[in-house]
Amino acid sequence: MTLEAVLAALHMVAILTLVVFMSSQAALCRTEWMNAAVVERLVRLDVIYGVTALVLLLTGLARVVWGIKGMSWYVSQPLFHLKITLFVAMAVLSIWPSLSFRRWRRNLRATGALPEAGEVSRVRRLVMVQSHVLPVVAVIAVFWARGW
């Protein structure tokens, strides 16, 4: 029982941390706020976001493998598969912003140039899509916990 509680708590902390750093990216990735410090900060936030997503995945897998309900229960649940699919979709959506942030920093350091407004808007849109998918995952979790 203690292991289940610890794994659930770690999973919840990872979710909340992911929300914080995803929200920070969304807040900073704006054309009107873009400057050299923001470009550097976006890369740091993205690294923390990536590590947090990995911790979220690992704690979730740990709950599946070592949790009280067991793997057979999880894999038999349709909402589990929907949550995993949405998580993977978020991971795929995060690739382009991650690569862009690093490219922006590389260009900034090499030439001093900031990213173009159109590119910042496109990257922000992807971050915002991720930010809107995450609450859907949370709602699915609530329904799943209530026996759906």
Instruction: Decide: pTM greater than 0.95.
Output: no
pLDDT score recorded for residue 31 = 95
Q: What is the mean pLDDT of residues 70-86?
A: 93
Is residue 43 over pLDDT 80? yes
Q: Kindly list the domain boundaries of the chain, sorted by start residue.
A: 1-146
Is residue 146 over pLDDT 90? no
More confident position, 68 or 18: 18
Is residue 1 over pLDDT 80? no
Of the chain, the percentage scoring pLDDT greater than 70 comes to 100
Instruction: Give the C-alpha separation, 12 to 7, whole Å.
Output: 9
Is residue 129 over pLDDT 90? yes
- Quick one: residue 147, left, alpha or beta (phi over 0 = left, psi -120 to 50 = alpha)? left
Distance set, CA 128 to CA 45, 87, 123, 134, 146 (Å): 15, 15, 9, 10, 28
